[in-house]
Amino acid sequence: MDNFDFYNPVKIIFGKDQLKRLRDLIPTNQKVLILYGGGSIHKNGVYKQAVAALKNHEVYEFSGIEPNPRYETAMKAVEIVREKKIDMLLAIGGGSVIDAAKFIAVAALYEGTDPWDILTGATKPAGSVPIGVILTLPATGSEMNSGSVITKESTHEKLAFMSPLSFPKFSFLLPEAAATLPKKQIANGVVDAFVHVIEQYVNYPVNTPLQDRFAESILQTLVEEGPKVYANPADYDAMSNLMLSATIALNGLIGMAVPQDWSIHGIGHELTALHEIDHARTLAIVLPGLWKIFRKEKKEKILQYGKRVWQITEGSEEERVDEAIARTVEFFESLGVKTKLKDYNVQEDSIEKIAVRFEERGWKAFGDRRLVTPQKVREILMLQLG
Amino acid sequence: MDNFDFYNPVKIIFGKDQLKRLRDLIPTNQKVLILYGGGSIHKNGVYKQAVAALKNHEVYEFSGIEPNPRYETAMKAVEIVREKKIDMLLAIGGGSVIDAAKFIAVAALYEGTDPWDILTGATKPAGSVPIGVILTLPATGSEMNSGSVITKESTHEKLAFMSPLSFPKFSFLLPEAAATLPKKQIANGVVDAFVHVIEQYVNYPVNTPLQDRFAESILQTLVEEGPKVYANPADYDAMSNLMLSATIALNGLIGMAVPQDWSIHGIGHELTALHEIDHARTLAIVLPGLWKIFRKEKKEKILQYGKRVWQITEGSEEERVDEAIARTVEFFESLGVKTKLKDYNVQEDSIEKIAVRFEERGWKAFGDRRLVTPQKVREILMLQLG
């Protein structure tokens, strides 16, 4: 096994009637800035409960954080943090709000000219305002990791940073609050978590049976519980199983000592940046094409995945690889998540644009074995055109 | 899913050539007390590497911590911590040394008359000296949890405490160092980790598919990798897989929101206290008897375990339960771990003594559903007499 570090100090508080504990987690002399997106936290009652629990705190709020959270929006919240001398950020919602909170928290303490430098990697964050999370949407895993993805509207750039300073201090996981989500968001959450696992698991074998089985455990649970939640978001047990799976999919556990790819995400981000396709849907588009193009390189793990997640045991190796890809596509489509570019009105000219963006950015080859060249991106997306 | 909290801030540093990083983890102005057991850390080179990494620190040492670490021994180390104003404890070895370190760390800061009160539960620890760990023996999981089990020699009592103050700050996991272990200790480690999982998994179903599969992932890995390590402790990859499995078996992950039993441990501790049988071996003795006595109450999970860990799919439910128990016993015995009391020269009179000890202690019924009465303890142990 390769050497690795694992560290994840996030306190998870899972379940029902938990939010009253907020007051014990944030000292009353601290000023809190509540961050959220649209109105869903009013609809699901979480806003009211959070504010009630913090009735003895000085509380400010900042709303309007969008999906694929914008640098431009986050910088407005940074001003409030600085001006009001905020001690604690409380992100309520899903991955977008949490990602924004992580960036706002480090940007507020950044002493250079432009905190965007943290995202380009030109500088590392030197400090962070503490963050707490109330998760109402199972998907990104941001509630239990130290990563954040931010989009700059002016340049259509979507970049990520990670910092050990950015782990939330605590995250409430509230399956009940997710019961009122639109089905589209639930489907996105299932696919997002699924592909997070795939990026860490379907690469090449390195004799890590425990991590492999943990990855398969999450995938199997998503395959079983995802459709239940999609059919009935008020199924508390199924939603609980989905929410826990999505959180653990990207908290470092299954990533220990294994190769990680993330090229599905790399290509998907471009589709979101250019066409505003939901993040999860871009992953569902890219994955089948990428596996077809790299079927030889990923063969052993695709076969293992097919056998353990989909019980595919018959046929030649090539047939089993095909079936594993087909079953995956079928699973996404069963959740209403389309996997072809034309389903999203994206035409061939966009494929060329995307390939050129990678070339211009100097991404000559990325992925776990640096095999994904701009030319391969072209081939992958052409297969998924429709 | 039931409500739960999860929190585990231990930093894991896994692999080869890692110990030089010790100097970055402990500020040089801190006084360090190295704790260890016998001479194995001299044999495997770890002592030398640790001392070299701490060459700019003021370092003291305390050795002779025994298996089933003694209160009486720990209290001698407490004196050193107080006298030398130690800032950091560094436990090198396996679970016994780590458990002792956790107790020494809270006892040194205890202001009452007798720190034993922490173990009886009469008081909670108010503070702890920070602890670092260098793990050289896969088994107990103590390197990544907040629990400690201590034995009082004078009264033959073996008690446990847990405190969020007792998580190690960091734990090095060194598969290489474990290569020189006696086979008996390796077998004990495999069985100990195995039964840790069982206590959190083979109880009754509560619709936690992810936690169940994680538990099965660890068991399957122990079943595959345990015999490899037993045959050849120098097999680095197999030892790595075993060590990681044992650590995660008891770090809280698989215990989220599930019923936990721990009556195998409860009964096993008495066998160790009275007859000094190795902890893991007591678990291997008690488990088959306990499953036979509670086969009805544990039926659904024993069947699931049999199917997923041992691929037992044929026969009636009763036959499959029998086979699951038989395969488990076979697995333990294949590692040289005997499962009958007479294998350890324990006779019938001891069974009565143990039952009476539970009665005298007022343990009227324990386990996940409070069904293990002193009478059931008699029945369980009678089945395992030989």
**In the predicted model, what is the mean pLDDT of residues A46-63?**
96
Same domain, yes or no, for A237 and A362? Answer: yes
Tell me what pLDDT residue A157 has: 84
Q: In chain B, which residue's Cα lies nearest the Cα of A12?
A: B6
Please tell me what DSSP assigns to residue B66: P
Strand partners, A59: A32
Within an 8 Å CB–CB cutoff, is residue A240 touching chain B? yes
**In the predicted model, what is the mean pLDDT of residues B188-206?**
98
Query: Is B230 domain-assigned?
Result: yes
Same domain, yes or no, for B248 and B128? Answer: no
Q: What share of chain B is helix, strand, coil (3-state, %, to 5)?
A: 55, 10, 35
Residue B39 has pLDDT above 90, yes or no: no
Residue A40 has pLDDT above 90, yes or no: no
Distances B321 to B313, B327, B382 between C-alpha atoms, Å: 11, 10, 20
Complex ipTM more than 0.90, yes or no: yes
Residue A365 has pLDDT above 90, yes or no: yes
Closest CA to B195 of B133, B134, B281, B135: B281
Start-to-end CA span in chain B (Å): 41
Within an 8 Å CB–CB cutoff, is residue B215 touching chain A? no
Three-state DSSP at B40 gives helix
Instruction: Give the whole-angstrom CA distance, residue A97 versus residue A37.
Output: 6
Instruction: Give the whole-angstrom CA distance, residue A200 versus residue A362.
Output: 24
Within an 8 Å CB–CB cutoff, is residue B223 touching chain A? no
Query: Is A3 domain-assigned?
Result: no
Strand partners, B148: B161
Q: Kindly report the CATH number assigned to the domain that includes residue A194.
A: 1.20.1090.10
* Chain-chain contact of B3 with A14 (C-beta, under 8 angstroms): yes
Closest CA to A16 of A46, A37, A40: A46
Return phi, psi of residue A6, to 5°: -135, 130
> Which chain B positions have a beta carbon within 8 Å of A237's beta carbon?
1, 207
Residue type, B344: Y
pLDDT tens digits, A231-289: 999 999 999 999 999 999 999 999 999 999 999 999 999 999 899 999 999 999 999 99
Please tell me what DSSP assigns to residue A10: P
Report the b/e string of A211-224 with b at 16+ CB within 10 A: bbbbbbbbbbbbbe
Min distance B296 CA to chain A CA atoms (Å): 25
Three-state DSSP at B142 gives helix
Report the b/e string of B349-376 with b at 16+ CB within 10 A: ebbeebbebbeeeebeebbbeeebbbeb
Same domain, yes or no, for A301 and A338? Answer: yes
Cβ-based neighbour number of residue A42 at 10 Å: 12
Tell me what pLDDT residue A255 has: 98
Residue type, A191: V
Return phi, psi of residue B334, to 5°: -65, -20
Average pLDDT, chain B: 96
Residue B361 pLDDT level (bands cut at 50, 70, 90): confident
Q: Which domain holds residue A208?
A: 183-383
Same domain, yes or no, for B252 and B369? Answer: yes
Same domain, yes or no, for A153 and A187? Answer: no
Same domain, yes or no, for B83 and B197? Answer: no
Tell me what pLDDT residue A273 has: 87
pLDDT tens digits, B50-75: 999 999 999 999 999 999 999 999 99
Is residue B284 within 8 Å of B290, Cβ to Cβ?
Answer: no
- Of B3, B213, B221, which is closest to A209 when you measure between CB atoms? B221
Cβ-based neighbour number of residue A186 at 10 Å: 24
Residue A85 pLDDT level (bands cut at 50, 70, 90): very high
Strand partners, A4: B14
Query: Is A6 domain-assigned?
Result: no
- Of B4, B221, B237, which is closest to A14 when you measure between CB atoms? B4
Same domain, yes or no, for A279 and A365? Answer: yes
R_g (Cα) of chain A, nearest Å:
20
**In the predicted model, what is the mean pLDDT of residues B350-370?**
93
* Kind and range of the H or E run holding B161: strand B157-162
Closest CA to B148 of B118, B105, B97, B103: B103
Within an 8 Å CB–CB cutoff, is residue A7 touching chain B? yes
Lowest mean pLDDT among A70-84, B36-50, B177-191, B315-329: B36-50
Same domain, yes or no, for B131 and B271? Answer: no
Is residue A173 within 8 Å of A14, Cβ to Cβ?
Answer: yes
**In the predicted model, what is the mean pLDDT of residues A104-123?**
95
Strand partners, B6: A12
Q: Kindly report the CATH number assigned to the domain that includes residue A40.
A: 3.40.50.1970
HSE-up of residue A268 (Cα within 13 Å, Cβ side): 28
Instruction: Give the whole-angstrom CA distance, residue A298 versus residue B364.
Output: 56
Same domain, yes or no, for A19 and A144? Answer: yes
**In the predicted model, what is the mean pLDDT of residues B276-285?**
96
Residue B16 has pLDDT above 90, yes or no: yes
Tell me what pLDDT residue B60 has: 98
pLDDT tens digits, B215-260: 999 999 999 999 999 999 999 999 999 999 999 999 999 999 999 9
Tell me what pLDDT residue B273 has: 87
Instruction: Give the whole-angstrom CA distance, residue A255 versus residue A363.
Output: 23
Query: Is B2 domain-assigned?
Result: no
pLDDT tens digits, A143-152: 999 999 999 9
Q: In chain A, which residue's Cα lies nearest the Cα of B17?
A: A3
Cβ-based neighbour number of residue A205 at 10 Å: 12
Residue B155 has pLDDT above 90, yes or no: no
Distances A17 to A56, A239, B207 between C-alpha atoms, Å: 19, 16, 20
Instruction: Give the whole-angstrom CA distance, residue A148 versus residue A128.
Output: 13
* Chain-chain contact of A14 with B8 (C-beta, under 8 angstroms): no
Query: Is B4 domain-assigned?
Result: no
Within an 8 Å CB–CB cutoff, is residue B276 touching chain A? no
Same domain, yes or no, for B99 and B200? Answer: no
Which residues are CB-contacts of B318 (< 8 A; sequence separation ≥ 6)? Answer: none
Tell me what pLDDT residue A361 has: 85
Instruction: Give the whole-angstrom CA distance, residue A343 versus residue A386.
Output: 7
* Chain-chain contact of A15 with B4 (C-beta, under 8 angstroms): yes
- Of B7, B15, B248, which is closest to A4 when you measure between CB atoms? B15
Tell me what pLDDT residue A186 has: 97
Structure tokens at B270: 């008495």
Structure tokens at B249: 């078996």
Please tell me what DSSP assigns to residue A358: H
* Chain-chain contact of A14 with B257 (C-beta, under 8 angstroms): yes
* Chain-chain contact of A218 with B210 (C-beta, under 8 angstroms): yes
Distances A374 to A160, A378, A382 between C-alpha atoms, Å: 20, 6, 12
Q: In chain B, which residue's Cα lies nearest the Cα of A217?
A: B213
Instruction: Give the whole-angstrom CA distance, residue B338 versus residue B197.
Output: 20
Of B157, B177, B197, the residue at which a domain comes to its end is B177
Of A177, A208, A234, the residue at which a domain comes to its end is A177
Q: What is the DSSP string of A19-85?
A: GGGHHHHS-TTSEEEEE--SSHHHHTSHHHHHHHHTTTSEEEEE--PPSS-BHHHHHHHHHHHHHHT
Residue B277 has pLDDT above 90, yes or no: yes
Instruction: Give the whole-angstrom CA distance, residue B189 versus residue B191.
Output: 5
Same domain, yes or no, for B170 and B191? Answer: no
Tell me what pLDDT residue B162 has: 96
Query: Is A225 domain-assigned?
Result: yes
Within an 8 Å CB–CB cutoff, is residue B225 touching chain A? yes
Tell me what pLDDT residue B40 has: 86
Query: Is B41 domain-assigned?
Result: yes
Residue B280 pLDDT level (bands cut at 50, 70, 90): very high
pTM: 0.97
Tell me what pLDDT residue A156 has: 82
Q: Are strands A31-35 and A58-62 parallel, antiparallel or unpaired?
A: parallel
Query: Is B44 domain-assigned?
Result: yes
Instruction: Give the whole-angstrom CA distance, residue A135 versus residue B106.
Output: 35
Tell me what pLDDT residue A123 has: 94
Is residue B247 within 8 Å of B192, Cβ to Cβ?
Answer: no
Tell me what pLDDT residue A178 has: 95
Instruction: Give the whole-angstrom CA distance, residue A28 versus residue B68.
Output: 44
Task: Give helix A317-334 / helix A299-310 axis angle, nearest 10°.
Answer: 60
Same domain, yes or no, for B254 and B117? Answer: no
Tell me what pLDDT residue B203 has: 97
Instruction: Give the whole-angstrom CA distance, residue A176 versus residue A234.
Output: 7
Tell me what pLDDT residue A363 has: 87
Q: What is the largest CA-CA distance in chain A?
A: 66
Within an 8 Å CB–CB cutoff, is residue A11 touching chain B? yes
Closest CA to A191 of A69, A298, A334: A334
Tally the domains of chain B: 2
Residue A158 pLDDT level (bands cut at 50, 70, 90): confident
Beta strands in chain A (DSSP E): 4-6, 11-14, 31-35, 58-62, 88-93, 131-135, 147-152, 157-162, 170-173
Of B147, B177, B207, the residue at which a domain comes to its end is B177
Strand partners, B91: B35, B133
